[in-house]
Every structure is written in structure tokens, then in C-alpha cells.
Structure 1
């Protein structure tokens, strides 16, 4: 099957962002809803993706071979924490300011304040929460439940290479 340029680009996004969810693809692709993403996946990429046991969207091995991008997560054999992750810019910045594995975990608001101070940016709390959850899915952030969920790195910062995923 020959893929159109748009389908190939979107397949590359899926490979690069995996594990991902509808809302991340919706934002990347500029679609109106998660339903549109689902419909696109089913109609155009049905044979190139699957949902894992946690319902996250992942690319098939064939999809990985069809596009010239690196998968969103690379882990060494037998390692729990990936050695390389490819993420959007906000997630990279969250990773840079988030408490390390031996430090006290941080709330979403605490991370938001650190982002404002370190990078002079002003994302919403929802955007920060979403970035933290995406990093958790990729295995580089863990949640510590206190009064509210808090977050910290799952491994020392120097053990994980974080690359910024390229937007189309």
C-alpha cells in the first residue's frame, strides 16, 4: 500500500510520540476532537497502530520501518527506565526542572512555578499536568501520592537523554 505524504507524516508523528493518546495526536495534527483522531487512525493507519494494555496508542513494527524517525522511547534491554525519549518542547522543559529521584516530589503547581522561573514561559496548569502524565507514560517520571499527586524523575537526569520531537 502506497501512503500519501500526509499519511506518512502522521505515521511518523505516531512513531515519534508513542506511547501516546488521542489528545496528543489531536494537538499535533490540528484536529478538532479525539473522535477525529480515532476516525483517522482507523481509516488511514489501521494496520500501523495498536493500543497497548493501558489503551495508549503505539506504532507497529511495520510502521516503525516505514518512516524515517526514531521511536519516542528507547530503552536498554532489561532496563525499566528508557535511556532516550523524544518529546515536545514543553515536556523537555518539564523534565529539566522536575525534582530528581532522590528529591521531594513536586505538585503540578510547583512545576509550573519552576517553569515560569527557569524559562519565562506561562503554560496552564492543565498543560503542565498533561506533560507530566506524558512523561510518566514514557517511563521517565513517577507519581508519588501525597495530599495531591506529585511527580519526580524515575532515574537520575543524566541517565536519560531527552530530545525534542520535531513538529511538522
Structure 2
């Protein structure tokens, strides 16, 4: 599912990731643990095609990062440290927009939103503006956004940041 060979990424003279290699099989869970500045978010950004590595190769679901980026983006869902959603739109509108981005429309879009609302417990605030939600509620909506197209692989950067204990 994921293969990383000798990934390196620097920001000027700062080496954020140095010669990282690993593989993750389908159905597995992988957690990057490390101190601030250890390169966790940089690695995720490279894997999700947000950043280009300085060297090394990466494959996601058989697609090569840097060559098959559009295919990779269809296969993955990503929850970043900061939200991508419009604070002025209702939660339902934000999710509908993201679904449309993946070509999910009509009854299928409604079904996916309702399914995720139930699964992630966001149904009570589907009609509220995203920007009016608590940090934990926003984080759950961000997770729903990442799952709207039923990705084969989910990346969570700082997954517990802002979550309300439940």
C-alpha cells in the first residue's frame, strides 16, 4: 500500500527528513511518533503530494508520487493539522462541496453525508456554519471531509489535536 525508499527533504540547511525508508501493507495502521521538528508532517506532506521530496521514491497503492499524483489524490484522504473548510459555509455545504470535487453528486452525495454524519456523530451540527463549531466538532467534520470519497488510505496529521474526549 505504501512504499518509501530513501526519502529526504530539507528546508534550506535544515534536514527535516533524512534517508527514511519503510513499507506499510494494506490493512495496517502506522503511527509516526516523535518530537516537534522530527519530520512527521513533512513526511506526510511528501506522501500526500503536497511537497516534493529532495530525493527518494514513494509509492501509494501502486502509484508513484511525483508521477501519478492525480491517481494518488483519488486514493487517499487527508486530515491536515489545519482545516481546509470554509468557516462561513454550513457543515453540510462544506461536505457537499468536497463530495462534488470527487464527482459525487445527487443521491449518492446525500447518502455519503448522512452515513458520515452518523458514523462520526456530526449530525447535530450539519446545518451550522463550520466556523461556529468547537475545535473538537471541527476536527470531526475534517475527518468526515477526508472520508467523503471512501479513500483506500487515510492520513491523519496530528490526529488528536482539538478532539473533544468522547
Tell me the TM-score normalized by structure 1. 0.29
- Which structure carries more strand by proportion? 2
- Which structure carries more helix by proportion? 1
Tell me the TM-score normalized by structure 2. 0.29
